[in-house]
Amino acid sequence: MDLPILYNEAEEWSQAIMLYDAALKEINTKLEILNNEFKLAHQYNPIEHITSRLKTPQSIANKLKRYGRDLTVENIIKYVNDVAGIRVICSFTSDIYRIADLISKISDVKVLKVKDYIANPKPNGYTSYHMIVTIPVFLSNMTVDTKVEIQIRTIAMDFWASLEHKIYYKFEGNAPDHIQKELRECSELVAYLDRKMLSINEEIQNYSSNQVKNYGIEDKY
Ligand code: 0O2
């Protein structure tokens, strides 16, 4: 791909990428600490796993084009919120809101925007909880608040989103109607599965705490 403007602003771009990369590391560490603390306090991991990525130049260029903006480093920093992206995968929907709440309480993390696609799924069936946050990155001569997009979703939502993403690119956004319809149906099944798994888990938790109460047996998993 031809990136003449980025090429001219190469130094500025390298600096920005260094900041985004540092911000990903900072957020990753904070999430790991929260997960470990939670495990110690409740014998339970709300986070299944975490992945992170820096957005590809092609995807950044596409997004700015969609927004009708020129491809400049200034515009990338200002308008592309997900250059640095973290995906947090949880077992249960309740964990998503628990993690989001914990993130919003971290003192140096500022929440700029939240999109709750679980309460309000996209018309194609996409569900996930998105937060745009900033985290300070401490350099030798200054501190820079750097944007990170955090996507929080269940394993089932992630399964759906990764297949939908592949289909979207395969058909360049124009998948046949029957595939779109089947994806929407699958999204309803995902929501059903998540509800069922959550209620089974709640039953198990109640059963475990009754056992501790009645027999002093502690159940760990
Ligand atoms: P890619 O290829 O994953 O990087 P805003 O942040 O408000 O300026 P944006 O970025 O459109 O606007 O916000 P949104 O809706 O939060 O989407 C950000 C990212 O969420 C997307 O990045 C996807 O990763 C994911 N996402 C959003 N909608 C869908 C969807 O319908 N299906 C799937 N599979 N993922 C989705 P990109 O840059 O679009 O894509």
Give the pLDDT confidence of 161-192 residue by residue, as tens digits.
Answer: 999 999 998 898 889 999 999 999 999 999 99
pLDDT tens digits, 121-162: 999 999 999 999 999 999 999 999 999 999 999 999 999 999
User: What range defines the domain where residue 136 resides?
Assistant: 4-157
Count of domains for the chain: 1
| Ligand 1 midpoint to CA 195 (Å) | 24
Domain containing residue 136: CATH number: 3.30.460.10
Position 71 in a domain: yes
Position 220 in a domain: no
Position 47 in a domain: yes
Position 95 in a domain: yes
Position 179 in a domain: no
Q: What is the mean pLDDT of the chain?
A: 90
| Index of the ligand 1 atom closest to the CA of residue 62 | 38
Residue nearest to atom 5 of ligand 1 (CA): 81
Position 188 in a domain: no
Question: How many Å apart are CA 148 and CA 219, to the nearest integer?
Answer: 37
User: How does residue 92 score in pLDDT terms, banded at 50, 70 and 90?
Assistant: very high
Residue nearest to atom 8 of ligand 1 (CA): 81
Position 165 in a domain: no
Which of 12-16, 96-100, 103-107, 132-136 comes out lowest in average pLDDT? 12-16
156-159 CB contacts, 8 Å cutoff, 24+ apart:
156/190, 156/193, 156/194, 156/197, 157/118, 157/127, 157/128, 157/190, 157/194, 158/87, 158/89, 159/190
| Ligand 1 midpoint to CA 124 (Å) | 13
Look at 90 and 38; give whichever has higher pLDDT: 90
| Ligand 1 midpoint to CA 69 (Å) | 17
What Å distances lie between residue 215 and 42, 43, 56, 153, 221, CA to CA? Answer: 19, 18, 55, 36, 18
| Index of the ligand 1 atom closest to the CA of residue 124 | 31
Find the residues whose C-beta lies inside 6 A of ligand 1. Answer: 55, 59, 63, 81-82, 115, 122, 124, 126, 130, 161, 164-165
pLDDT at 207: 80
Position 204 in a domain: no
